[in-house]
Amino acid sequence: MTLIRVFEERVSELYRNSEVPGFVHLSIGQEASAVGACWPLAVTDVITSNHRGHGHCLAKGLAPEPMMAELLARATGTNKGLGGSMHIADPDLGIFGANGIVAAGVPIAGGAALAAKLRGQGGVVVSFFGDGAVAQGAFHEAANLAALWRLPVVFFCENNGYAEFSPIADQHPVPMAARAAGYGLDYVSVDGNDVEAVAAVMTDVVRRVREGGGPVFVEAATYRWHGHYEGDPEKYRSKDELSEWQQRDPLVITRARLLGRGVGQEKLDWVEAQVRARIDAAVAAARQAPPPDMGVLHSSVYAPRPAVPEPDWTPAPDGEIFRTMDAVRLALEGELEANPEAFVAGVDAGKGGNVFALTRGLYAKWPDRLLDTPISETAVMGLAVGGAMAGMTPVVELMYLDFLGVCFDQILNQAAKLRFMTGGKARMGLVIRTQFGGGRSSGSQHSQSLEALLAHIPGLTVVMPSTPADTYGLLRSAIRDPNPVIFIENRQQYGMKGPKPPADYLLPLGKAKVVREGTDLTIVSVSRMVHEAMAAAEALAPRGISAEVIDLRTVAPLDKETILASLAKTTRLLIAHEGVTDFGIGAEIAALAVCQGFWTLDAPVMRVAPPPTPSPYAPNLEKQWLPDRQSIERAAEALVRV
């Protein structure tokens, strides 16, 4: 507790002197809850934390020296200067991250707890959060799922009475005990300023959870002495209130007990002196350490991909035929057989066999690894993030790509950024399978093509296959990839038939394919629109127009080399995609052509895509709204005439 207190006091001083950049949230006054909660944990156990996470990290065993360097934005920092105060993590010590998003660590804890349960080695996860976090949907979804599956997780609420500037009375209509009961969680309350009480409670709770007793909600009543953040004017609470809580200083309470039990004053003074000397040295070392260079910026975004060569496979004329839906199932089956740490989770993904029957039959083989979840997309994405950090290989389903909005934080701020913010330490090999597709009058909330939204996020890989064979080869590669992959299928193609590749068929991620050679113009497309582009190219051929067609296969990272090489040959570029025109992937490809392929262009770059409106419901409107082979054909013919 002295280590946490002195560390935080020095950070406050350094922040005032402008040596610590960014936001800083200190845990002075809450030392006992952090130390007591981590007291019974093993190195192999996991914690998730929040923006006020310095104390949790120190209590779990992270050394103060690299933490101080991290706060001073140095290359020797815990996360190489890429995380900062709110994002300190060390997965090797079971510290899956402080987090700048309120309650975001709770679903991640669920994923880590699922990994512990599947491995059956008695691992436990403690998820730290403040009282304000229980108002977040992420907390509700994660708590509900943990209770349903009896996951080995402790929900540890440090109730310091305030959610940012708002007192608890203004935030919650019921007490924490009632909330815990509503989720079916065992509930324990404890004086969060009494480290012995917290340690005793947590020793018992962790033992019960470790033995399979299911999740527990622990509420520790405590108080933060400083404001919500350093520099907070603190107009929302009185000095008398602060003074009253400072009379219950956890360090003073513990020091008095130790003196009463015969520990000498000199010994306690020596402990404090040792801590202060260590923190002084940590500050001095951090000040002397170099800042990070741009190399770490780029090397931390993606883990190195395994080399996957383009396979030399030509379908036999009388070879076996299969459907895209078969390709999905067989790819999942192959990876589940090859990797005992792989699991599949999602709404109706297990017993129900998926809403499109894509996983039918897999549950019978792997009932413990085909997991039906509640309709809780944030919790499901948290399973992927936490499971991946724990070293599992999660494949989770997002039933419709349109549902991205209800779970976007776990993708945008967690899956895509945790490897980066930990300086490359966090493992993040996971797959999010989803589907999209207009043309079935599904309306504006079930027809969107949102790949450009995802492709704009550094850290994500976005894959969109166009054939059954590509679906199989790309999905197997995606599951083996050490990076978060969003795998987007087109539901109109689930019944599409095509040649079945060999069982060991893998395709490289990030590599486009020229699926039709041509000389007069290049048509770049992806997913179902590739087939529309191919049909247009066939229709153009009798008119003397030779169109080369590129199937991107992977939208991000974009295979720039293949596009530019084709453009150098044909000198004209047409892009066709199902996402709306404005700010779509076509704009990025056009920018590539104008910037890096400018001197090879003989005509303006053209795009064929839906107009920038939501997808209509009426069949006649949707037919006009969606691009097709005829619209591609007309655009290509106009382009070659320029």
- What is the set of active-site residues? 446
DSSP 203-236: HHHHHHHHTT---EEEEEE---SS-SSTT---TT
Q: What one-character DSSP code corresponds to residue 507? A: -
Tokens of 323: 């459907």
Cα 159 to Cα 163, 301, 400, 589: the distances in Å are: 9, 35, 37, 50
Residue owning tokens 């395709």: 507
97, 88 contact by CB (below 8 A): yes
Angle at alpha carbon of residue 220, lines to 217 and 224, rounded to 5°: 135
Query: Over 69-106, what HEC string results?
Result: HHHCCCCCCCCCCCCCHHHCCEHHHCECCCCCCCCCHH
Q: What is the DSSP string of 464-478?
A: ---SHHHHHHHHHHH
Instruction: Encode 183-194: b = buried (16+ Cβ within 10 Å), e = exposed.
Output: bebbbbbbbbbb
Nearest to 499 by CA among 531, 530, 474, 467: 467
d(CA 611, CA 111): 40
Question: Which residues are within 8 A (CB) of 584 and not within 5 positions of it... i.e. 6 or more apart?
Answer: 452, 577, 607, 609
The amino acid sitting at 584 is G
Cis before 616 (ω within 30): no
Tell me if 349 sits within 8 A of 376, measured CB to CB.
no
* E-assigned strand segments in 49-176: 125-130, 153-159, 162-163, 166-167
- How many residues would you count in the chain? 642
Buried b or exposed e, range 546-570, using 16+ CB within 10 angstroms: ebbbbbbbbbbbbbeebbbebbeeb
| Short-list 33, 321, 426, CA closest to 192 | 33
Q: Report how far residue 622's alpha carbon sits from residue 610's, in angstroms, rounded to the nearest whole number.
A: 10
